[in-house]
Structure 1
Amino acid sequence: MTGAPSFSYPDYSPAPANEALLIANVGVARENARSALMGEGWRVPPGFRLGEEVTVPPSAQLVWLELDGTVDGNAVRHLARLNHDAGSGRYAAVVAATSPWIDLVAAQVTSPSVQLLIDPSPVERITSIALASAAVQVGGVQETSPERTEVRLKQLSDEVNRIASALARLSNTPVSLDTARPVQPGEGPAVSAETVRSIIRARRLRDQFIPGDLFADPAWDILLDLLQAEIIQHRVPVSSLCIASAVPATTALRWIRTMTDRDLLMRREDPHDARRVFIELAPPTSLALRRYFDKVGPQTVI
């Protein structure tokens, strides 16, 4: 006689919620971040204030750093830690900041595994949470690597590659990045600052008559602004470059990061303020741009 058959029943109990650690001072931005996370099903235990010592529990799969109000140097250690831990795959990380924080954030965060949001809208917050959730669902935050980030930004990278290839074709002689340095006077065809300035002026004037999003080309706007700055020997901080790109700061930071990774641009530390970096054209990019303008001639290029 056989025993009674055994049955297994599906488990309908809710799956455990992902856990996010929130670091932020009390304020509207903190509540916006908490509401967005909880609205997307994340568990958000009591977090930390900006100046407090933070211990990230092993259960935390996402660390969200919210920066608003007056720029506070206490954020430096948090940013450095997120840059390291997210880059090594320990957890996903999001830094949401207001515009005054751009330079400090850009100076400290270099890992593409950290999502950067500037003056984020509710939609941008939810999008970042969705990306973090996807990383967890496909096997843990270890999947949130530079390679996966590169895939998510493939369209952006392809466009940058297109520009890089075009610039390379205009360059007659290869220049090694091992000798990275500012372009010296008389090196490459001469381009006047007024020529570049007139192009920038024409592009911004066009936006007053035709919707700017139809012609959004932040990579070109960034290159033009840096070439003008190089000619007049002016240093450009990240915050100024974001404005020159004519796109939202979050988008501009992604372009700057990707163009730097592609060796089109260079980061240079501010010797007087470790919380800020300047962005410059890489020498091959500068020479290619100068040759481009030399071939185009005096007519205005928009």
Structure 2
Amino acid sequence: MAADGFAMTSYGHQPSALLLTDGDAAAARVRQMAERANLRICGSDRIADAIGRIERQAAMDAVLVEIEHDPGPMLDRLLERLAADTAASRYGAVIVAPPALIDAIAARGEGRIEHLCDPSEEERALATAAAAGRTQARLHDVVKSGVSPNLQQLSAEVGRIASMLAELSEQGEDAALARAAVEEGGAAIDPEALRHFIRVRRMRERFFHPALFADPAWDMLLDLMASRLEGTKVAVSSLCIAAAVPPTTALRWIKTLTDHGLFVRQADPADGRRVFIELSDDAARAMEGWYRATMKLLQQVDAKD
């Protein structure tokens, strides 16, 4: 691998990337990922030697990891190292791994690590450029004239999520209204009713294309509120399923909602490779306010009938 790694090393003035993989196919994909983001490859190695290679590497702007299988404890150690280094802003990191590893990566993948599951080429390019601190960089894409429309749309989506949640965190007046709705009291919240709302939302897809309803935040809020009332725990992988969108999109939303205080991570004491996601107390109070206001409105409609 040393000779292969030397051959894959390039030199130039672009931001640099270290590539870590578990096979030749993964190595080819992650190399293409770096090239499309216009990154300079400063080295490459196998997962088994990843930590040693990171320690030997003088500097890099991003670490790009692609694996097809679970390497077990080696992955856990690598994730802990990436989490510590990215939290210290030493570099950014992207890991491309199958959905089966969502929980294992979520348990340790904090900091600036982005986990991609079955990503599109546009998602790969955007995540790679962002990891290197170059979200505005020129990206090589299949569209020769510049950035593809899909990539522009994905970049806009990320910006929209961040802007929307930033505004949400500043809406103190709305939060006060939500608390007032809870304090007014009313019917106890029925978790089965919340599940019913989710089923109604899924029914839309029988009549309209699912792409029209691609924002998963509300589905996750409903699912977590119902689970909170039922006293059940929700792992990251389960929440991704509840979101009803591609895993990479769901993971991006989970991270953003956690960063903005709507979701809370809780370690699983029985399994070090799993974390649970819960609603924050403020988010739960807001959901209570919404539920009671909604039920009151429906009662008014029934009364008119």
The two structures have a TM-score, normalised by structure 2, of 0.76
2:303 is aligned to none
8 Å Cα contact 1:102-1:238 kept in structure 2: yes
Q: Is 1:22 aligned with 2:19?
A: yes
1:259 aligns to 2:257 (yes or no): yes
| Deviating more after overlay: 203-212 vs 126-135 | 126-135
**Between Structure 1 and Structure 2, whose CA radius of gyration is higher?**
1
114-123 or 40-49, larger mean C-alpha shift: 40-49
Letter in 2 for 1:50: I
What's 1:95 paired with? Answer: 95
- How big is the shift at 1:207? 1.3
Distance in 2, matches of 1:210 and 1:129, equals: 33
Pairwise CA distance, 1:114: 2.4
CA distance in 2 between partners of 1:136 and 1:241 (Å):
27
Counterpart of 2:125 in structure 1: which amino acid?
A: I
Instruction: Say if 2:41 is the partner of 1:44.
Output: yes
CA distance in 1, matches of 2:217, 2:85: 29
CA displacement at 1:134 relative to structure 2: 5.2
Q: Which residue of 2 aligns with 1:58?
A: 58
Q: What's the CA shift for 1:68?
A: 2.1
> Is structure 2 residue 274 aligned with structure 1 residue 276?
yes
Give ranges in structure 1 of 5+ residues lacking alignment.
Answer: 1-13, 139-150, 176-186
Aligned CA RMSD, in angstroms, stands at 3.0
Correspondence 1:1-302 to 2 at 5 A: 15-44=12-41, 47-52=44-49, 53-56=51-54, 57-70=57-70, 72-111=72-111, 113-132=112-131, 135=134, 153-161=158-166, 165=171, 166=174, 168-172=176-180, 190-297=188-295, 299=298
Question: SS of 1:198's equivalent?
Answer: helix
Paired residues in the alignment total 263
Q: Of Structure 1 and Structure 2, which has the larger fraction of its residues in helix?
A: 2
Which amino acid letter does the alignment assign opposite residue 101 of structure 1? L
CA contact (8 A) 1:265 1:280 kept: yes
Kindly indicate whether the alpha-carbon contact (under 8 Å) linking 1:189 and 1:294 is maintained by their aligned counterparts in 2.
yes
Determine if contact 2:33/2:125 at 8 Å carries over to the other structure: yes
Tell me the residue number matched to 2:147: none
Structure 2 distance, partners of 1:204, 1:222, is 13
* Residues 167 and 119 of structure 1, relative CA distance in 2, 3 Å threshold: farther
Change (3 A) 1:17 1:281: closer
Q: Distance in 1 between matches of 2:209 and 2:84?
A: 40
| CA 240–168 in structure 1, closer or farther in 2 if over 3 Å, else same | farther
CA contact (8 A) 2:42 2:60 kept: no
Judging changes above 3 Å, is the alpha-carbon distance between structure 1 residues 236 and 28 closer, same or farther for their aligned structure 2 residues? Answer: same
CA distance in 2, matches of 1:237, 1:85: 25
| Partner Cα separation in structure 2 for residue 174 and residue 297 of structure 1 | 13
**Paired residue secondary structure (1:75):** helix
Give SS of 1:190's match: coil
5+ residue gaps in structure 2? 1-10, 138-155, 300-305
2:4 corresponds to which residue?
none
For the structure 1 residues 158 and 241, does the alpha-carbon distance in structure 2 shift closer, same or farther, using more than 3 Å as the test?
Answer: same
Partner of 2:151: none
Give per-residue Cα distances to partners, 1:90-122, cap 9 Å, x unaligned.
Answer: 1221111211111111111222x2233221122
Distance, in Å, in 1 between the alignment partners of 2:76 and 2:157 is 27
**Cα distance change of structure 1 residues 116 and 212 upon mapping to structure 2, 3 Å threshold:** same
TM-score, normalising length from structure 1?
A: 0.76
